Chain A
Amino acid sequence: MSEPVTALATAELALADDALVLSHRLGEWAGHAPVLEEEVALANIALDLLGQARTLYSGLGDEDELAYLREERDFRNCQLVEQPNGDFAATIVRQLFFSTWQELLYGQLTAHPLATKAVREVAYHRDHAEHWTLRLGDGTTESHTRTQRALDALWRYTGELFQPLPGLDADWAALRAGWDERIADVLGRATLSVPEGPREGGWAAGAGRQGLHTEPFGRLLAEMQHLHRSHPGAKW
């Protein structure tokens, strides 16, 4: 398999991997959601993300080769999206962090063909995550506690979102400022606090983009790739 040759291709591969891996995590919810409406909503978001991944991969090579035949160290997704689903609050917080970032980034990439198409999808994802953040944060004591815990646990993976992806024509400082503002606003309305822990340094910043992942990711890939790898060359 050939490595992407341009900076833009490398950046697109990272965006595609983000979408694929988060879509996979959301797919794990099927049949386990707290209400039927969320079965529909989570599957819907997963499908949008899978569609984005496929569009990007197809521009870079064979989508199935890229998804199924690369090793863990070759994947360029950020560590946030590979985090296990946890409870519904953890899934919603992960989605809020990611979708807000994606909406702001895609809003900037007006020249990119995928971004113009996907920006409406990601606005819907952000809206869904935002509404649930409000319900959970300002719901019961239990839901508030769980959501704050999820925010605190996932916060360390957010710094990576703002490591510039060379090749993408984006203003990363503005992206970060916009994201901080949006998240602070939503969390404030949800009666939740913006976590204070570190957002970068060591493994937490930019590691996924370099193929350094967290431990659960290897198992995700083992499950995802197993069947495809068991039948080399087969068509499905």
Chain B
Amino acid sequence: MTTVLPGTPGDAGAARAAEAETAQTRAETEARTYGPAFDAAVAADERIEPRDWMPDAYRATLVRQIAQHAHSEIIGMQPEANWITRAPSLRRKAILMAKVQDEAGHGLYLYSAAETLGTGRDELLDKLHNGRQKYSSIFNYPTLTWADVGAIGWLVDGAAITNQVPLCRCSYGPYARAMVRICKEESFHQRQGYELLLELSRGTDAQHAMAQDAVNRWWWPSLMMFGPPDDESAHSAQSMAWKIKRHSNDELRQRFVDICVPQAEALGLTLPDPDLRWNEEHGRWDFGPIDWDEFKAVLKGNGPCNEQRISQRRTAHENGAWVREAAAAYAARERNRTAERDRTAERAQGSQPEEVAAR
């Protein structure tokens, strides 16, 4: 390493350049040394753990994906919480509150998983609040009737499960383990959503119509949850090579449609797609084109609720600032009090031998 004297501006520039070069050289050396072991572990379906070496881009992709997933749980509380105070029976109210509570819990697991990659929850929340990290586009649609709560459970949670079950085998250990816990609870929510819709579908004419209207509004946005088509998906190939992702967007979307069609029939509800037909040759359901312009508009922040969702999240965070400050101040004071007690105890102990010696 060249020794650079600090102080002169030219030399500071040179120092920065030398530092950057050193960092890059170190990264290259590390990649040469540890890269083959990383690749071999991924190929052998072994789990990568927080202390293991990993390529910077692997780390960055995981942070992006896990953070986005955590943010989706947190923002996803809003459309459903919108109905907690209006739930039409005490049983449904309890189920809905428990579900929204689970979502906050999922957010917590996922932020913890992201933190194992060297980032912090506060930093990730800041990025959510200033729009630098995204959340699932589906939560930018409004919940207009009680049936929307059922449609979200059946379709949105259903799509999430289809996406997330393969993540239980994701190459990054902490993420895979979080997904095992989350998927169990999500399947439970999905069954409850389905059951809610079934009750409405078999209820009065007005209830049936409410259920059908909700399915009509949530079907296409749910299909968009699998992301852009394979030929337009920016991160897919690399994520699949790293075994973060196990199946392509289109593959998972097809799997979801094939599961939903018979379920819709059992519900006594129709799916809003005139092109939906059974494809005998391929043994699957063919479906109509997705409105990708709408998808892009929602992703860009121009969906029906983007503004409202982020603004509520920011407001909750800002309104809570004084509470978090109080908790921090109290904790600091408690630490001081404990330290003071320890010092007093030490002094008391320290004086003991002298007394003994004096005697």
> Residues of A at under 8 Å CB distance from B?
20, 24, 27-28, 30-40, 43-44, 46-47, 50-51, 53-54, 57, 63-64, 67-68, 87-88, 134-136, 138-140, 142-143, 146, 223-224, 226-228, 231, 233-236
Contacts and interface: CB of A to CB of B under 8 A. Distances in A.
A50 B97 CA distance: 10
A83 to B, nearest CB: 16
A135 B327 contact: yes
17 contacts: A30-B97, A30-B101, A31-B78, A39-B101, A44-B101, A51-B94, A64-B90, A67-B90, A136-B323, A138-B333, A139-B325, A143-B323, A143-B329, A224-B85, A227-B87, A234-B204, A235-B199
B112 to A, nearest CB: 11
B203 A234 contact: yes
B77 A27 contact: no
Contact of B92 (A31, A32, A34, A236): A236
Given A39-B104, A43-B104, A47-B97, A227 B146 contact: yes
B74 interface: yes
Given A50-B90, A139-B326, A32 B100 contact: no
Interface in B307-339: 312, 315-317, 319-327, 329-331, 333
Interface in B88-147: 88-94, 97-98, 100-101, 104-105, 107-108, 111, 146
B164 to A, nearest CB: 20
A84 to B, nearest CB: 13
A37 B108 contact: yes
A224 B85 CA distance: 5
Given A39-B104, A140-B325, A64 B89 contact: yes
A4 B45 CA distance: 64
Given A30-B81, A223-B85, A231-B88, A135 B326 contact: yes
A150 to B, nearest CB: 13
A40 B101 contact: yes
B97 A27 contact: yes
Given A88-B323, A140-B326, A234-B206, 4 more contacts: A50-B90, A135-B330, A233-B204, A234-B204
A212 B196 CA distance: 36
B115 to A, nearest CB: 13
A229 B324 CA distance: 40
A31 B81 contact: yes
